[in-house]
Structure 1
Amino acid sequence: MPVEIGGQLIRPSDLVVADGDGVIVVPEHLIDDVLTYAIQESENDKYVRGLMFDRLGIPRNASTESVFDVKPHPYALTPERLDERLRRA
């Protein structure tokens, strides 16, 4: 049955994710979109880490390897933009 916690209505089909910083409730109709975006974020982090390893001369490792087959992150960092950011730093 639905419950209300802290003013938020939570239905049995909602996704509830919690950690030490808080809780998020994702309505059922948004779960697929949220999971896709989260996977894109994770894959983008690995991609950018790989670019950074290349620039620093560090051999790539498992932390730079893609795990999921998803569309690229809509705002993925390009090697050119990374170089530009590194020049400014």
Structure 2
Amino acid sequence: MRKFSFSDVNRQPGEVLDAALAAPVTLQKRGRDRLVLLSVTEYERLLAASAGTPSGAGRTTHNLDTAPQADLELLERALAEILADAPDEV
């Protein structure tokens, strides 16, 4: 899996996005894996694969329009924490 830094997303977004369309990529912050960026096709394939397994049982997916408020708040806090750790860019 290709790896990019958060800074790479700002400096070369086209390359990062093109790579993510071809295969999942890892986004790193301070050398640690933080996020995985993948195509919708790959995401849907993973959802379909997990639906038939015990680990996928009882899981529900949402988008930003349908997610419960509590989930949106959790996501917002997690993203704020990640961004707070980011070094200042010039």
State whether TM-score is above 0.5.
no
Larger gyration radius, structure 1 or structure 2? 1
TM-score by length of 2: 0.27
TM-score by length of 1: 0.27
More helix, by proportion: 2
